Amino acid sequence: MFGMSTSNSLFKAPSSPMPTIMVVPTGIGCDIGGFAGDAMPAARLLAAASGCLITHPNVMNGASLYWVDPRISYVEGYSLDRFAAGEMNLRPVRQQKVGLLLDAGIEPALRQRHLQVVDGCRATLGLNITCEVTSDLPLGVELCKGSSGVSWGGLRQPDSLLRAGKFLKEAGATAIAVVSRFPDDIEAETLKEYRRGNGVDALAGAEALISHLLVRELGIPCAHAPALRPLPLEYSLDPRATGEELGYTFLGSVLVGLSRAPDLLAVNEKEEPLEKKNSFICADDLGALVVPDGALGGDVALSCLERGIPIISVKNPSVLNVTKDSLLANEDLQVREEVGILSACSYSEAAGFLLLLREGISLESCQRPITRFA
């Protein structure tokens, strides 16, 4: 395991990897992470500081852009919730067998563009994409936005999605990439503002729903790419949104992320043999969680609070405002007394906090003035 042990035979130096979760919740319009993979630089920095970063597709999917780092584990949001709660373990793999699930509602030309991405990833990147299926009905994605501004959505044919996913799993796929046809009629002003760097990603909430449903039912890694018509050229495009407009599809980054996503292992109630435990990462190994300072009310953050895992809240504005003060003031939460919530002004400062935790250096010792002990 990556965690520390009191046994001399199992002791690892403080500089060994310290598994850390990074969460940037989907569809809440974060300044960093609210666009097409624009949190990837921060993820790479945190991976270097921790030696082992566990994050979700919303952070790593840059549409046409992606980055491979063996220190980063690509774990879908529902799985990440269960992992943080101690209900699921992660087993690193060398290569997943990725199955492709296409929505029957995708037009022939747009479908062909996605199949060409698959061939390109097989021929150029060496990915193992083993099988493909089209849903028996158009999935019928619906986009919505809550009163808080958070994006969410629905699916008119969830059973069709599940039937296609089960077919791929039975055909030997160990991970599933989903491409569903998303509505093109996003409100013009909302889309314009998003492309110029303002507002919330209107697609993100519905994307999360699709991948959550498949992972919950099938128990294997899944990630989603929306199928949309190309947009007209925008000369005032925000750099954070450019990854979505460099090609015809968003599928490339999904296939790359899934290709080495860890296996998802439900926790066995029986005690596992030590040699088997050494092959996976479990919640007891976690050293820290890094999360936007207004998004501390999610399942991962609450699990870490209850388990006494240090939380680093980073200044990263969004439409949410569940802060450290509001969370700790909630009397219904059972928070371990020793848990610490560190406030960081940036992901650079958060990386510094991770290094302090990883190396076993007291935060107080790096601050001035330092108080007298006696």
Does residue 8 have a pLDDT over 50? no
Count of beta carbons in the 10 Å neighbourhood of residue 303: 22
pTM (global) more than 0.85 = yes
b/e code 283-302 from CB counts within 10 Å (16+ = b): bebbbbbbbbbbbbbbebbb
Backbone angles phi, psi at 185, to 5 degrees: -90, 45
**66 vs 64: CA distance, rounded Å:** 7
Count of beta carbons in the 10 Å neighbourhood of residue 258: 26
**What are the Cα distances from residue 249, in Å, to 1, 63, 118, 144, 233?**
38, 7, 11, 22, 16
Instruction: Please compute the mean of the pLDDT values over residues 285-304 and round it to a whole number.
Output: 95
Q: Which CATH class is domain 98-261?
A: alpha beta
pLDDT digits (tens, 9 = 90+) for 212-230: 999 999 999 999 999 998 8
Q: What is the pLDDT of residue 149?
A: 74
Q: What is the pLDDT of residue 14?
A: 52
Residue ranges per domain, the chain? 8-91+267-366, 98-261
Q: What is the CA radius of gyration of the chain?
A: 21
- CA nearest to 329, candidates 309, 303, 305: 305
Same fold, 8-91+267-366 and 98-261: yes
- CA nearest to 296, candidates 278, 316, 269, 272: 316
Backbone angles phi, psi at 141, to 5 degrees: -75, 135
| CATH 3.40.50, domain 8-91+267-366, yes or no | yes
pLDDT digits (tens, 9 = 90+) for 113-123: 999 999 999 99
Does residue 304 have a pLDDT over 50? yes
Instruction: Please compute the mean of the pLDDT values over residues 164-171 and round it to a whole number.
Output: 98
Q: Which residues contact 185 (CB under 8 A, 6 or more apart)?
A: none
**221 vs 91: CA distance, rounded Å:** 11
